[in-house]
Amino acid sequence: MRPHVNTHKTNGLLAPFSDTRSFIAQASGLIGDTAQIQRLREAARHSVQNLCREHIIVQMETVLFEAVCAQDG
């Protein structure tokens, strides 16, 4: 299981990597929408509230372990 903190339109906005147009569209959609900005801000704060160093280390170990296992096939 790969850990994710940001969920699109729940606690943030996502755009595909290197997709500048999508990124600009996502950011532009926030202009003037203070209610959505506030909702995303609160949800983002809540989603990372319980993260601590130990939790992040476990997540990183999991990601690295899965990467090594995938290479070993």
Evaluate whether residue 8 is within a structural domain: no
pLDDT digits (tens, 9 = 90+) for 54-63: 888 888 899 9
C-alpha span between 29 and 31 (Å, rounded): 6
Q: How many structural domains compose the chain? A: 1
Instruction: Print the domain residue range for 31.
Output: 20-72
Q: How many residues does the chain have?
A: 73
Asked whether the whole model's pTM tops 0.75, one would answer no
Evaluate whether residue 34 is within a structural domain: yes
Structure token digits, residue 1:
């299981």
pLDDT digits (tens, 9 = 90+) for 2-37: 456 789 999 999 999 999 999 999 999 999 999 999
Evaluate whether residue 24 is within a structural domain: yes
Q: Are 8 and 50 in contact (CB under 8 A)?
A: no
Q: Are 14 and 8 in contact (CB under 8 A)?
A: yes
